[in-house]
Chain A
Amino acid sequence: MLYRAEITIKLKHGMLDPEATTIKSALKHLGYDCQSVKQAAVYELELTADSRENATDIVNGMCQRLLANPIIHDYDIRITK
């Protein structure tokens, strides 16, 4: 069955995010004063799997083996049909 996966990869809580800090100050220059800005990477992919659980396992493997760096990242996986 074809599944759609949305993977969000974020820096772990408390990790320094220099790009987000720069974006925050650029927003401030435009008059938007934000308390905080965070950045994340989103991957959307389609894959064939036997079940939703199977699809989750496969995508979890992708995150652990390549897409995320466990030292600095947390990730969320959302699977839809």
Chain B
Amino acid sequence: MNIAILRFGGSNCDLDVQKALNNLNVGAELVWYKETLESFDGAIIPGGFSYGDYLRAGAIAARTKIMQSVAEMAADGKPVLGICNGAQILSESHLVPGTFTLNQYPKFICRWVKLRTFGESAFTVLSNALVDLPIAHKEGRYVADPRLLKELYENDQVVFKYVDDKGRPTLAANPNGSLDNIAAISNLEKNVLAMMPHPERASQKLLGSADGNAIFESMVRYIKAL
């Protein structure tokens, strides 16, 4: 098995994702955006600040040629995971619906959040109902119009929500003003996931939580079943 970890100018969580995968004995290769994506079983777009977040976070990386290959992988049914800046790149590429924009309080937030897992996606079959993961972003507020929001619920595309200790998506548990506390969204087919929290930063007990591993392990299981 070989998972591609994309690197753009300004990606900075690439090595963390590779380490998290390697710790789970999963092969993962760093792929510079000018290279090709042939012969990979899935792809992860890691966090960072691609192209300085100029224009809008993820906007410029989304228009690179390699993202067309990512779209083809997704259309082939292979799993594609975007984390933080990777999630912004996926939404700017229209591989997931809606968009992530400036936090309600327009400041960079870096802290742990509790998330509740909803529905079924290629990335959550092994996930607990409640997970602890960190967030680190300034443009993470999820936005969608009311019609799209309705579709997202009808099609089970809301994958994680920010919740309190009891699993309730309260106002106080919403760190960035995201619509309906949405932290992660999938495509219609559930093989593309855009999530603002960082599973690779919660991949060992030493880091405070190992809840992130279930996301990578679910992805691996999904690939094996293909």
Beyond A18-B103, A67-B55, A72-B99, 9 additional pairs, beta carbon < 8 A: A16-B177, A18-B104, A18-B177, A19-B102, A19-B106, A66-B55, A69-B56, A69-B92, A71-B144
Nearest first, the 4 closest Cβ-Cβ pairs linking A and B are: A18-B106, A71-B99, A19-B106, A18-B102
Distance to closest chain B CB from A30 (angstroms): 19
Residues on B with C-beta less than 8 A from A67 are 55
Q: Is the interface of A mostly helix, strand, loop or mixed?
A: helix
- Number of contacting residues on B, CB 8 A? 18
- The residues in A between 1 and 23 inclusive whose CB is less than 8 angstroms from any CB of B are 15-16, 18-19, 22
- How far, in angstroms, from A73 to B56 measured CA to CA in the complex? 12
Beta-carbon contacts of B144-183 to A below 8 Å, as 1s and 0s? 1100000000000000000000000000000001000000
Residues on B with C-beta less than 8 A from A65 are 63
Which residue in B63, B106, B143, B177 is a CB contact (below 8 Å) of A71?
B143
Residues on B with C-beta less than 8 A from A71 are 98-99, 143-145
Distance to closest chain B CB from A34 (angstroms): 18
Q: Which residues does A use to contact B, with CB under 8 Å?
A: 15-16, 18-19, 22, 65-67, 69, 71-72
Residues on A with C-beta less than 8 A from B143 are 15, 71-72
Interface membership of B32, Cβ < 8 A: no
5 pairs from A and B in contact (CB 8 Å cutoff)? A16-B104, A16-B141, A18-B177, A22-B106, A69-B56
CB-nearest residue of chain A relative to B92?
A69
Interface membership of B101, Cβ < 8 A: yes
Interface membership of B105, Cβ < 8 A: yes
CB-nearest residue of chain A relative to B60?
A66
- How far, in angstroms, from A65 to B67 measured CA to CA in the complex? 14
Which residue in A18, A22, A66, A72 is a CB contact (below 8 Å) of B63?
A66
- How far, in angstroms, from A53 to B92 measured CA to CA in the complex? 28
Report yes or no: B55 in contact with A72, Cβ–Cβ below 8 A. Answer: no
Which residue in B59, B144, B145, B177 is a CB contact (below 8 Å) of A66?
B59
- The residues in B between 108 and 159 inclusive whose CB is less than 8 angstroms from any CB of A are 141, 143-145
- How far, in angstroms, from A71 to B97 measured CA to CA in the complex? 9
Which residue in A22, A66, A72 is a CB contact (below 8 Å) of B101?
A72
Residues on B with C-beta less than 8 A from A66 are 55, 59, 63
Residues on B with C-beta less than 8 A from A16 are 104, 141, 177
- How far, in angstroms, from A66 to B63 measured CA to CA in the complex? 8
Which residue in B99, B105, B144 is a CB contact (below 8 Å) of A18?
B105
- How far, in angstroms, from A57 to B8 measured CA to CA in the complex? 30
Residues on A with C-beta less than 8 A from B141 are 16
